[in-house]
Amino acid sequence: MSQAPKTSGKAIGSLVCSCIGIFVCGIILGIVGIVLGRSAIAEIDASGGTIGGRGLAQAGIIVGVIALVLSVIVIILYGLAAVAASAS
């Protein structure tokens, strides 16, 4: 009877950081989520099947990119609003 592989803590951390990054401090937490996700995938690939969680790591990377992009858009919109407010 074989046991299921242990889930990577980095993969879980990647997804958690990225999800929180959508709502709070997306630039920092989005980057952390992306870095942890990439590190988790490398760890999972090197484990030879003893560590799982590749899907969580991939989701963490994707959500981290979304959090990062949304944060940049919000910063640009705030900048444009500040310029428009000072011009009038």
Each residue's pLDDT expressed in tens, for the chain with a length of 88 residues: 578 889 999 999 999 999 999 999 889 999 999 999 999 999 999 998 899 999 999 999 999 999 999 999 999 999 999 999 888 7
- Nearest-10 Cα torsion for 53, 42, 58, 74: 130
The answer to whether the CB of 42 falls within 8 A of the CB of 80 is no
pTM: 0.89
Residue 49 confidence (pLDDT): 86
What span, in angstroms and rounded, lies between the C-alpha atoms of 26 and 33? 10
* CA torsion through residues 59, 22, 71, 80, sign: positive
Question: Where exactly are the structural domains of the chain?
Answer: 6-87
How much is the pLDDT for 87? Answer: 83
DSSP state of 49: T
